Amino acid sequence: MFIDTHAHLDDERFQEDLEDVLARAQEARVNYIINVGYDLASSQKSVELAKSYPHIYAVVGIHPHDSKDAVEETYLQLKELTKEKKVLALGEMGLDYYWDNSPRDVQQEVFRQQIRLAKDLQLPIVIHDRDAHGDILRILQEEKAEEVGGILHCFSGSWEMAEMCLRLGFYLSFAGPLTFNNARKLVEVAQKAPLDRILTETDSPYLTPHPFRGKRNEPARVVLVAEKLADLRKETVEKIGEITLENARKAFRF
């Protein structure tokens, strides 16, 4: 069995064929999917998906792109959403200095506020980090995020950063980019990371793995990420599926 620990099935690109997408995931033995919010509307949709399907769980939070719209009421609504028992974590939260869709100081403050909320709720966090490794680590340390732990979604840093995240108790999640030809840094991290701290994801509909790069991604393709991990770690894909599912149960506490 496999798990996709990060998908966006509420995306409009799944509007027409969601049932087919879920059926293909089941055929590929992807027996669990965690759907992740990026603003209040998508977080609510994630909760609704989790209520509608027994094998789907939810994460709720504010993406750095949308942090410019966060107000005090936003955190109260997130807290309300976490009352649903299938909400496993807060996220995706963090920093994105590539697109800079929200001012960096605002991104940092909303990131901090969500870490504090997660600590109040005793929930793990799911982190988005693009071109912001130093500030991500600094804020995690300053906010004592190791008290709740969590996941570096679609990890993209160096082995040196990975080591620091691992020391803070975080898990590293690998997605389609691990299968890309230019993934030298990621390959090193995937080879060196402890087996009990790695996860698999798709970030559907984004980051489609080779050889389907450029097409819409979907949870069934998390198996391609597991196959790449198996090749790098000299394990069977079944073993990687077993390990990453057990890791996800620990990371998300379900």
Q: What is 200-254 written as a DSSP string?
A: E---BTSSPPTTSTTSPP-GGGHHHHHHHHHHHHT--HHHHHHHHHHHHHHHHT-
Q: What is the mean pLDDT of residues 211-227?
A: 98
pLDDT range class, residue 175, cuts 50, 70, 90: very high
Q: What is the DSSP letter of 157?
A: S
Tell me, rounded to whole angstroms, the distance of Cα 214 from its chain centroid. Answer: 20
* Helix, coil or strand: residue 146: helix
Mean pLDDT of the chain: 98
pLDDT in tens, 22-36: 999 999 999 999 999
**Residue positions counted in the chain:** 254
Q: Structure pTM?
A: 0.98
Q: What is the mean pLDDT of residues 84-91?
A: 98
CATH number of residue 136's parent domain: 3.20.20.140
Say which residue the tokens 């990621």 belong to: 186
Residue 87 pLDDT: 98
Q: What is the DSSP letter of 171?
A: E
Q: How many domains does the chain have?
A: 1
Buried b (16+ CB within 10 A) or exposed e, 150-167: bbbbbbbbeeebbebbbe
Q: Using CA atoms, how far apart are residues 84 and 116, in angstroms rounded to an integer?
A: 19
Q: Using CA atoms, how far apart are residues 172 and 186, in angstroms rounded to an integer?
A: 11
Domain that holds residue 126: 2-252
